[in-house]
Structure 1
Amino acid sequence: MIEDIIITMLWSISPFGEAKVGIPIGLKSGTNPYIIFVAAFVANVLVFPVMIFFLDHVNRYLLRWHFYKKGALFVAKKAKKGAKDKIQKYGFWGLMLFVMIPVPGTGVYAGTIATYLFNIERKKAFAANTIGIFFSSVIVWFATMATLKAIE
């Protein structure tokens, strides 16, 4: 059980899946579905402060190297393109909706990068990201639970 929770949390903090992947993997393991939800949600929420710290401190240092700067600019352009209209037009609600949609390219990583790029107030951005993660996790949790029940 502990191993399944740890795996769920690791997938939920991973930029390759977030809770969108952590929840289905955890639920498939047969562990208590409520514990899986909480573990995935909490792990995914923790990404925001870690990413903000990285962007504020480590990123500035690494931008000195050309190969890193080139990759960082590529990611920044993609995040700006995907989130710009929603966030500029709707602000807090736009950021929340952007993070909430459980599809690839949205989520807390993109939401945090958008927060950094658009210089959004951190407390509001954290709240928008957290609410977005919650609703995204609920959508994925219910969809996965329904799918697992249909398969049985």
Structure 2
Amino acid sequence: MLLDLLTAMLWSISPFGEAKVGIPYGLLNGVNIYLTFLGCFLANLLVFPLMNFFFDVINRYFLKWYYYKKVAIFIGRRAKAGAGKNVKKYGFWGLMIFVAIPFPGTGVYVGSIAGYLFGLDRKKAFFANAIGIFISCVIIWVATLTAMEGFNK
């Protein structure tokens, strides 16, 4: 059970699934439903400070390299295209709603990049991401539990 919880939390930190994959993984492998929610939510929440550290320290160093800069610009443009209208127009609320939608490409990674690119205050961006992550986790958690209950009948 502990290994399954840790794996679910690693999925929640991963940019390839975030809590959208971590929560179903934990629930389908028999981890306690509340422990799965809490662990995956906190792990997904940890992404924001990690991304900000990356922007402040690592990104500035690597931007000197041509190929890194090219990839960073590509990712920045995609983040602006996905979240740009909402964040630019609605700020905090736009970022929160964008992160709360549990679709691929709308999680805390893109939310952190969008908040950084649009120059949102870090505290506001953190709370927008945190509330959005929480809403997204609740949606995924309830949907997974409902689906599991349906399959058991």
Structure 1 vs Structure 2: percent identity of aligned residues?
Answer: 59
- Alignment partner, residue 126 of structure 2: 126
Q: Secondary structure at the match of 1:102?
A: coil
Provide the C-alpha distance between the structure 1 equivalents of 2:79 and 2:88, rounded to a whole number of angstroms: 13
Give, in angstroms, the shift of residue 60 of structure 1. Answer: 0.7
- Alignment partner, residue 36 of structure 2: 36
Q: Secondary structure at the match of 2:61?
A: helix
Runs of 4 or more off by more than 6 Å in structure 1? none
Provide the C-alpha distance between the structure 1 equivalents of 2:26 and 2:130, rounded to a whole number of angstroms: 20
Matches within 5 A, 1:5-44: 5-44=5-44
Give, in angstroms, the shift of residue 137 of structure 1. Answer: 0.1
1:80 matched to 2:80: yes
Give, in angstroms, the shift of residue 115 of structure 1. Answer: 1.0
- Alignment partner, residue 65 of structure 1: 65
Give, in angstroms, the shift of residue 84 of structure 1. Answer: 1.0
Q: Secondary structure at the match of 1:105?
A: coil
TM-score normalised by length of structure 2: 0.98
Which segments of 5 or more consecutive residues in structure 2 lack a partner in the other structure?
Answer: none
1:29-78, CA deviations, whole angstroms, 9 ceiling, x for partnerless residues?
A: 01111000000000000000000010111001011111111111110000
1:95-151, CA deviations, whole angstroms, 9 ceiling, x for partnerless residues?
A: 000000000110100000001101100000000000000000000000000111111
Structure 2 residue identity aligned to 1:134 = F
Provide the C-alpha distance between the structure 2 equivalents of 1:66 and 1:28, rounded to a whole number of angstroms: 43
Provide the C-alpha distance between the structure 2 equivalents of 1:116 and 1:95, rounded to a whole number of angstroms: 11
1:2 matched to 2:2: yes
Give the superposed CA RMSD.
0.6
Q: Secondary structure at the match of 1:149?
A: helix
Provide the aligned length of Structure 1 versus Structure 2. 152
